[in-house]
Structure 1
Amino acid sequence: MRLALFNKGRLGLVDGDDIVDVTDQLAPSPSSPSGALQQYIERVERDGAPQIDLAVGTRLPLAEVALEAPLPRPGKIVGAPVNYLDHKAEMEYTTSIADLGVFLKANSSVIGPGQDIVLPYSDKRTDQEGELGVVIGRTAAKVSADDALDHVFGYTCVLDITVRSGEDRSTRKSFDTFTPIGPWVVSADEIPDPDALELRCDVAGETRQRTNTADLIFGVRQLIAYTSSVMTLHPGDVIATGTPAGVGPLKHGDHVVVDIERVGRLEVGVDGSRATAYEQRPGR
């Protein structure tokens, strides 16, 4: 199933060209900044998955609703640096995820479909990085690769936006709006093998990135196993699995699309109207 947030925090199940409001069935408690889908994921871990009656909720055309980030404030966003060999070659890195480990992004950097990536600097390159996102469904601590997928709730599209400057990765990737997520989360049962998905990222109508997740250095199972050996993963945490070759600069007015087989299509804009010179940053 495909679960999305829409129309100011309502939880919907996407059914063909429609979306059915299942908020009252799946997340009836008062809303919180983490969102109704987060509440549902936690409920599934605690009590198991409830039955869903699509005849009960209001049905609306999907094209007529405003989709939002399905997880507007995840507990953690974990990034996998240099997790495709072609990206390693492109950026002339001598190291990969096997040497670097993972990093964290601020959860305040999340935006949803149709929103804008806001460029912070007018004179520093800011790149797009299209990635498969893994949403954790069960608490995971030191899990094996063989058991890793048992801890996955589902999958989504992620853009890991990055300023090419000298700061630590977590700084360069944590600006507000730098983690578009969506348009929904597809439950794990619909993705038998997350390491066999076609991924494409287009910017301004041109394809910049095209890959298959089979080319990941650490596949999804290994990535979960490695990450959970470092930090406990909780329901609703998001792992961005890494980006392939083809990253490039964004400019004001660009339209960015990430399309992942069986997962979905995430579309956002780019706003550079408020960008300032790098030398004007606070603390300089």
Structure 2
Amino acid sequence: MKLLRYGPLGQEKPGLLDGDGNIRDLSTRVPDLSGEVLSDAGLARLAALDVGTLPIVEGAPRIGACVAGVGKFMAIGLNFSDHAKETGMAEPKEPVLFTKHTSCLSGPNDDVVLPRGSIKADWEVELGVIIGTRAKYVTQAHALDHVAGFCVVNDVSERAFQLESTGQWVKGKSCDTFGPIGPWLVTRDEISDPQALDLWLDVNGERRQRGNTATMIFSVAHIVSYLSNFFTLYPGDVICTGTPPGVGMGMKPQQFLKPGDEMRLGVQGLGEQRQRVVADA
């Protein structure tokens, strides 16, 4: 299934994308795409619905973040071997972990707003993982059993905030609108192998990033298991798993986002995002 949330910011309703590309309203069946709805049992109930009986959502509504009730937005750095190479850094021996505050979450096609003082805003297409059932001390062999599905993430980053002052990466990773996720939560049964997905990103129509999750240093199963050894993962938690080469910081000369730019990005089988870059007021 391809699940989504649609409607004005803060008023999103749950929906389902049918085989003809129509949005079907789920708001009379579930309160939102969160909590128990994301469990195997909850998703099975949605899969058993007669899609043809669900109301079609007319027009072209805004698409919101594809999951609600996100408690944690975790991210893994330097997780593609070819991206680590372009940065000139050694491949990490264990996952490099940082957080993105949940206040940065936004819809897949919402504007990306550059904060005041931003001079090095960058793009990062990533595979997102959405937790469906509580995970604590899980093995790699069972880690994917705790995953509800996958989505596209743009891990927008302000490199000057992230790397050129004191403190943690979180400053450059958590600015408002720096976490577009979606358009869909694609349930894990539709993705036969999360380590065989193409990723790509364009800026102003020019291909900047291309890669495949086969070059991830740490697999999705490894990451979920690893994180669960330090803290409990709960339904709705989101993990972005690293980016392939082609980020602006790695270009020679370096290139960064400016107002008026447009990003378009996608992950195989998970849909596409498109964002316009604007300056904060």
TM-score (norm 2): 0.88
- Measured in 2, the distance between the counterparts of 1:231 and 1:101 equals 15
Q: 2:115–2:280: 8 Å Cα contact kept in structure 1? A: no
- Measured in 2, the distance between the counterparts of 1:93 and 1:121 equals 29
Deviations 1:179-199 (A, max 9, x none): 011111000000011000011
- Measured in 1, the distance between the counterparts of 2:116 and 2:43 equals 46
After superposing the two structures, state which structure 1 stretch, 72-81 or 211-220, moved more: 72-81
1:99 Cα deviation (Å)? 4.5
Please identify runs of 4+ aligned residues in structure 1 that moved more than 6 A.
none
1:10-89 aligned at under 5 Å gives the runs: 10-15=13-18, 16-25=20-29, 27-28=30-31, 36-39=32-35, 41-42=37-38, 44=39, 49-50=44-45, 51-60=48-57, 64-89=60-85
The corresponding residue for 1:135 is 130
Q: 1:45–1:235: 8 Å Cα contact kept in structure 2? A: no
Q: 2:68–2:236: 8 Å Cα contact kept in structure 1? A: no
- Measured in 2, the distance between the counterparts of 1:157 and 1:100 equals 20
- The alpha-carbon distance between structure 1 residues 70 and 250, as it changes in their structure 2 partners (threshold 3 A), is same
TM-score (norm 1): 0.87
1:94 Cα deviation (Å)? 3.5
Q: Identity of counterpart residues, as a percentage? A: 38
Q: 1:209–1:244: 8 Å Cα contact kept in structure 2? A: yes
After superposing the two structures, state which structure 1 stretch, 67-76 or 138-147, moved more: 67-76
- The alpha-carbon distance between structure 1 residues 20 and 149, as it changes in their structure 2 partners (threshold 3 A), is same
Q: 2:95–2:223: 8 Å Cα contact kept in structure 1? A: no
The corresponding residue for 1:185 is 185
- Measured in 1, the distance between the counterparts of 2:153 and 2:106 equals 10
Deviations 1:46-99 (A, max 9, x none): 7673131223321135x6222111125511011001101221122222453x35
The corresponding residue for 1:200 is 200
1:213 Cα deviation (Å)? 0.3
The corresponding residue for 1:114 is 109
**1:22 aligned partner, one-letter code:** L
1:167-186 aligned at under 5 Å gives the runs: 167-186=167-186
Aligned length: 263
Mind listing any 5+ residue stretches in structure 2 that lack a counterpart? 249-255
**1:55 aligned partner, one-letter code:** G
User: Is 1:154 equivalent to 2:149 in the alignment?
Assistant: yes
- Measured in 1, the distance between the counterparts of 2:118 and 2:225 equals 39
The corresponding residue for 2:252 is none
- Measured in 2, the distance between the counterparts of 1:169 and 1:226 equals 20
The corresponding residue for 2:139 is 144
User: Is 1:102 equivalent to 2:97 in the alignment?
Assistant: yes
- Measured in 2, the distance between the counterparts of 1:247 and 1:208 equals 7
Q: 1:198–1:210: 8 Å Cα contact kept in structure 2? A: yes
The corresponding residue for 2:226 is 226
The corresponding residue for 1:9 is 12
**2:85 aligned partner, one-letter code:** A
Q: 1:73–1:110: 8 Å Cα contact kept in structure 2? A: no
Q: 1:199–1:261: 8 Å Cα contact kept in structure 2? A: yes
Deviations 1:156-176 (A, max 9, x none): 000111111224111210111
After superposing the two structures, state which structure 1 stretch, 205-214 or 68-77, moved more: 68-77
- The alpha-carbon distance between structure 1 residues 266 and 168, as it changes in their structure 2 partners (threshold 3 A), is same
Q: 1:257–1:265: 8 Å Cα contact kept in structure 2? A: yes
